[in-house]
């Protein structure tokens, strides 16, 4: 049988108190719906997504993926939502029904459910809870066979005592859906067409309802408000932190590291507290990340040390570099091996050669620096004239004295030495001292300003 996945993602999520659709809310750097789609893709299944509230925004968020979007104009319940997909389903396929606001159901759980399905069997994912308030209850007969699901508002006193709850996630054949969905009614407390009512229809047709359970309850949890979102955020962050530690990283406090993307690590990586990873981050062996750093889409090679309170974005860092503390590495920065970026230094579109140093309190933008150069404290590359950007070239072994201003476009040639406090607007020749200062003078009779009343 072919495998198809139907993801219900039409709800508004009013309890989120947000202008953004519920399924687009962020969890560990990804939308809720992204998690569901990513796992469905791994099943090699064709994916249908039922959209409704903010349908265009949801479609746009996944426009590059091969997904069949189906719009549910009126939200009349889960059964009605799946009914919108029936015409799109192939004959004799297995259909897994998922929810865009239940993000953490794992691929292996989905596979386990699909294995229960054939023409005479369907699969249902259930969970045992100490307190099942709010959930539909799984009703079984004396032979322990599932006979129906009763929603909370429709359950009687005895049914409310049942602890086995419905997750909503189930797997059936497309032929079964075509047969059962048109038979659903909305004669219930909600006035909606419940997908769960197909369980009773299956039993009436002699189809066996097989149940499976997830390894962890969090896999089955839906997100309806910011409190539930925050709970799953912390849970997911701990899972991601555990994965890093199993790869060989040392996390000083796993509860105080946030991963909002993909992180890969080599051996003996050390990560201090309050570090945030965004996008794709690659850390080589023996890399040290100090406290309070934010790394976004960066690659850091072996042996490099990032001191505390640094921000790095869209940068490639070589081996055995030193950065920080309090450094900002902006997009386009490339550091060769053994380069050093000191405290309160900002770089942008800067290529910095092997062993070169920008020690402190400097801005280097739109620049190329050769090997073994030294950039003194307070140096600024003036790369912007208000309209256009220009490049500064600094050669191998060049020395730029403290508090120098380099007005681009300009070249500081190999071995050139720039005297401290210079404003350089013309190329500085190699192996020469270049100065650009006004003559110092003292003015006699000068009066110190006084505060005006």
| pLDDT at position 79 | 95
Instruction: Read off the pLDDT of residues 12-66 as tens digits, 9 standing for 90 and up.
Output: 899 999 999 999 999 999 999 999 999 999 999 999 999 999 999 999 999 999 9
Q: How far, in Å, CA of 68 to CA of 89, rounded?
A: 11
Cα four-point dihedral sign 317, 283, 261, 274: negative
- Asked whether the bond before 104 is cis by omega within 30 degrees of 0, the reply is no
Three-state SS at 388: coil
Please tell me the number of Cα atoms within 13 Å of 136 on its side-chain side: 23
Catalytic residues: 360
| pLDDT at position 418 | 95
Instruction: Read off the pLDDT of residues 225-280 as tens digits, 9 standing for 90 and up.
Output: 999 999 999 999 999 999 999 999 999 999 999 999 999 999 999 999 999 999 99
To 10 degrees, what angle do helices 107-114 and 32-41 make?
50
Instruction: Read off the pLDDT of residues 318-338 as tens digits, 9 standing for 90 and up.
Output: 999 999 999 999 999 999 999
Closest Cα partner for 100 from 21, 176, 178, 158? 21
Residue ranges for the chain with pLDDT beneath 50: none
The total number of residues written for the chain in this structure: 453
- Mean pLDDT rounded to a whole number for the chain: 95
Closest Cα partner for 8 from 63, 88, 66, 80? 80
| pLDDT at position 203 | 93
User: Which tokens hold the place of 336?
Assistant: 């060769």
Provide the phi-psi class of 24: left if phi over 0, else alpha when psi is between -120 and 50, else beta.
Answer: alpha
Which pTM was predicted? 0.90
User: Which tokens hold the place of 225?
Assistant: 């408000």
**Domains along the chain with CATH numbers:** 2-220 (3.90.550.10), 226-434 (2.160.10.10)
| pLDDT at position 111 | 96
User: % helix / strand / coil in the chain, to the nearest 5?
Assistant: 20, 35, 45
């Amino acid at each position: 049988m072919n495998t198809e996945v139907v993801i219900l993602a039409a709800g508004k999520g009013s309890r989120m108190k947000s202008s953004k659709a519920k399924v687009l809310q962020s969890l560990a750097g990804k939308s809720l719906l992204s998690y569901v789609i990513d796992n469905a893709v791994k099943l090699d299944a064709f994916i249908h997504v039922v959209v409704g509230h903010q349908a265009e925004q949801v479609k746009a968020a996944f426009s590059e993926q091969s997904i069949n979007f189906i719009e549910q104009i009126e939200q009349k319940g889960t059964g009605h939502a799946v009914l919108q997909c029936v015409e799109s389903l192939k004959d004799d396929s297995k259909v897994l029904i998922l929810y865009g606001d239940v993000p953490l159901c794992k691929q292996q759980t989905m596979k386990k459910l699909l294995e229960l399905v054939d023409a005479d069997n369907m699969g249902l994912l259930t969970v045992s809870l100490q307190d099942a308030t709010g959930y539909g209850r799984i009703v079984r007969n004396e032979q322990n066979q599932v006979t129906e699901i009763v929603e909370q508002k429709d359950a009687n006193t005895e049914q409310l005592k049942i602890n086995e709850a419905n997750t909503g996630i189930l797997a059936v054949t497309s032929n079964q859906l075509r047969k059962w969905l048109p038979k659903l009614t909305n004669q219930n407390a909600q006035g909606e067409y419940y997908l769960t009512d197909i369980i009773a229809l299956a039993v009436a047709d002699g189809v066996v309802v097989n149940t499976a359970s997830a390894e962890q309850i969090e896999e089955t949890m839906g997100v309806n408000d910011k409190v539930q979102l925050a709970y799953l955020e912390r849970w997911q962050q701990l899972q991601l932190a555990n994965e890093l530690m199993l790869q060989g990283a040392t996390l000083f406090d796993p509860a105080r590291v946030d991963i909002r993307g993909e992180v890969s690590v080599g051996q003996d990586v050390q990560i201090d507290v309050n570090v945030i990873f965004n996008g794709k981050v690659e850390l080589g062996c023996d890399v040290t990340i100090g406290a309070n750093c934010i790394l976004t889409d960066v690659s850091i090679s072996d042996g490099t040390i990032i001191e505390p309170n640094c921000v790095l974005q869209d940068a490639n860092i070589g081996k055995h570099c030193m950065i920080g503390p309090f450094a900002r590495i902006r997009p386009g920065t490339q550091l060769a091996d053994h380069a050093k970026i000191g405290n309160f230094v900002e770089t942008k579109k800067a290529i910095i050669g092997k062993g070169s140093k920008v020690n402190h309190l400097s801005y280097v933008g739109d620049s190329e620096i050769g090997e073994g150069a030294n950039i003194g404290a307070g140096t600024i590359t003036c790369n912007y004239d208000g309209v256009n950007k220009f490049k500064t070239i600094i050669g191998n072994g060049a020395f730029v004295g403290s508090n120098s201003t380099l007005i681009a476009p300009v070249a500081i040639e190999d071995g050139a030495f720039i005297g401290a406090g210079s404003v350089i607007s013309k190329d500085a020749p190699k192996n020469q001292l270049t100065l650009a200062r006004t003559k110092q003078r003292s003015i006699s009779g000068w009066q110190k300003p006084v505060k005006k009343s």
